[in-house]
């Protein structure tokens, strides 16, 4: 679906970003990984083969964003797609959250998405043929919340609203902007959560009870959704927020740990 398309994936040195990068390569793309941990980025690029490159990039730094754009164009001649995936997680009680905490999360999870998208659109407008597709990784936190995640929830909801605005503005330039909102994904964060639980089986049972498909999502499954939005198969889609959450946000409450008898209306 992405034959010869040039795709940037931020935060591609692990987790969801690594899964996205693999799917893009499998679908014929040329991939540039922008990764703050350069060692991780270079490792993934090497695994992906000759059509993948990596560059050190802290997305909260505007000069690094400029270098990422310049490096990609110098290496492959154009940019057909960007996946704004790099992000930081956060959990702290509302009353304990500082202005520094707020700034740290917003600078990466929201501000960086805005300005890399802006810089990418400038390149997409001037290249020939013009246009491209931008996919911003939001979260189920864009429509629902957890306690202690105020800055993160604000950032992820902001990504969706911001993407809709940019999508409307850039549509005339043949630039599409969409979001993917993952649910619980099998990343290092999930593994750390399991390891920290007093009982791993009990922890898995609790989380599975909150997911209608009764399992966590694999990183490549997020990659497949992103690949679709980057491709011409989604040519009529812009301003959308695709929920890839195994049904999590469609469920009001977790399933009962018992079986009730039927209730029939009259």
Active site residues: 152
CA distances from 217 to 23, 35, 60 (A): 15, 23, 28
DSSP at 109: I
Q: Are 62 and 115 a contacting pair, CB within 8 Å?
A: yes
Alpha carbon of residue 29 to chain centroid? 18
Cα torsion through 171, 176, 179, 180, rounded to 10? 150
Whether residue 121 contacts residue 167, with contact meaning beta carbons closer than 8 Å, is answered with no
Q: CB–CB of 104/148 below 8 Å?
A: no
In whole angstroms, what is the distance from residue 28 CA to residue 208 CA? 34
Residue 247 structure tokens:
């049904």
Cβ contact 30:4 at 8 Å: yes
**Length of the chain (residues):** 266
């Amino acid at each position: 679906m992405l034959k010869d398309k040039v795709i940037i994936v931020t935060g591609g040195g692990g987790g969801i970003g690594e899964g996205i990068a693999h799917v893009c390569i499998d679908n014929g793309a040329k991939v540039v990984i922008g990764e703050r941990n350069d060692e991780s980025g270079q490792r993934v690029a090497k695994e992906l083969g000759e059509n993948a490159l990596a560059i050190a990039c802290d997305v909260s730094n505007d000069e690094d964003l400029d270098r990422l754009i310049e490096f990609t164009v110098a290496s492959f001649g154009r940019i057909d797609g960007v996946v704004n995936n790099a992000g930081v997680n956060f959990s702290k009680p509302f009353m304990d959250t500082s202005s520094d905490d707020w700034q740290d999360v917003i600078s990466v999870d929201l501000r960086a998405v805005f300005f890399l998208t802006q810089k990418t659109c400038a390149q997409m407008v001037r290249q020939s043929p013009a246009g491209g597709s931008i996919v911003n990784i939001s979260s189920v936190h864009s429509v629902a919340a957890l306690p202690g995640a105020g800055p993160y929830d604000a950032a992820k909801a902001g990504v969706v609203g911001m993407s809709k605005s940019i999508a409307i503005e850039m549509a005339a330039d043949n630039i599409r902007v969409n979001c993917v909102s993952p649910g619980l994904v099998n990343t290092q964060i999930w593994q750390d959560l399991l390891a920290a639980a007093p009982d791993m089986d009990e922890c898995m049972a609790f989380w599975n009870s909150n997911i209608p498909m009764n399992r966590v999502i694999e990183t490549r499954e997020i990659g497949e959704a992103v690949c679709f939005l980057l491709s011409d198969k989604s040519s009529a889609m812009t301003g959308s927020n695709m929920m890839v959450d195994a049904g999590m946000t469609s469920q009001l409450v977790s399933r009962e740990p018992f079986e009730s008898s039927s209730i029939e209306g009259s």
